Amino acid sequence: MTLKLSAGPVLAAEERGVHIIFVPDGAVSCGSPGNPTDDELTKVAELVGFPAPTDIIVFCGQSYHFAGEKLKKHPGVHGTNPETVLKLDRRTHDRAVWWSETQFTITGIAQEHPQNSRLAPSPFAGSPVTTREPDSTTGPLWVARSPLPTNNAYGQEYKITFQMEGRTIDPNMECGNN
């Protein structure tokens, strides 16, 4: 089996795209849900190619990032491979764009480290809404575009929670001052 992956939506210069790649059940066997073997992860990597470090691969009920030439499990990968965290830069007015060939809904955005109450509990004034956009190679894409982060969001990290095919996915995003 091969996955038919899109090149994604057209992004504006200030948009930072995150491809959410859903590996359907049965595409690669998953002997132990939530704890696949290195061999199973290697087979998934062969299916998805070489995604960007911030892209999210959903397999066997868990989310992964491609880092250091292999798939690594979320959230531990963020500590060893900080390039897997989506970074939005204040100077260039970056916005996030999450997209997938598989329908998804953003269900929440919250501080990764909520102990600092002076900072914004959510990075955006409103939650990004997922819309359906056409794609000539794979059929429809589901795309969620964020507004600019609020001023109090810069300098902290957030966890974005999605629902996709009955699974909860929770990648991280950082609003940087630089």
User: What sign for the dihedral angle of Cα 171, 87, 176, 72?
Assistant: positive
Q: Considering the domain boundaries, does residue 10 fall inside one?
A: no
The residue among 171, 87, 97 whose CA lies nearest residue 141 is 97
How does pLDDT run across 123-137, given as a tens digit for each residue? Answer: 888 889 999 999 888
> Hey, what amino acid is at 68?
G
What pLDDT does 9 receive?
A: 95
Q: Considering the domain boundaries, does residue 4 fall inside one?
A: no
- Residue 93: helix, strand or coil by DSSP? coil
Q: What's the structural domain count of the chain? A: 1
pLDDT tops 90 at residue 100: yes
CA-only gyration radius of the chain, Å: 16
Q: Considering the domain boundaries, does residue 24 fall inside one?
A: yes
What pLDDT does 87 receive?
A: 92
* Mean pLDDT, residues 50-68: 89
Q: Which domain holds residue 20?
A: 15-176
Global confidence as pTM: 0.90
Task: Check if the beta carbon of residue 72 is closer than 8 Å to that of residue 44.
Answer: no
- Compute how many other C-beta atoms are within 10 angstroms of the C-beta atom of residue 169: 24
Q: Considering the domain boundaries, does residue 62 fall inside one?
A: yes
How does pLDDT run across 129-169, given as a tens digit for each residue? Answer: 999 999 888 889 999 999 999 888 888 888 888 899 888 88
Range name among 48-57, 74-83, 114-123 with the lowest pLDDT average? 114-123
- Residue 141: helix, strand or coil by DSSP? strand
Strand order of the β-sheet with 15-22 is: 70-73, 62-67, 56-59, 15-22, 95-100, 141-145, 130-133
What pLDDT does 115 receive?
A: 67
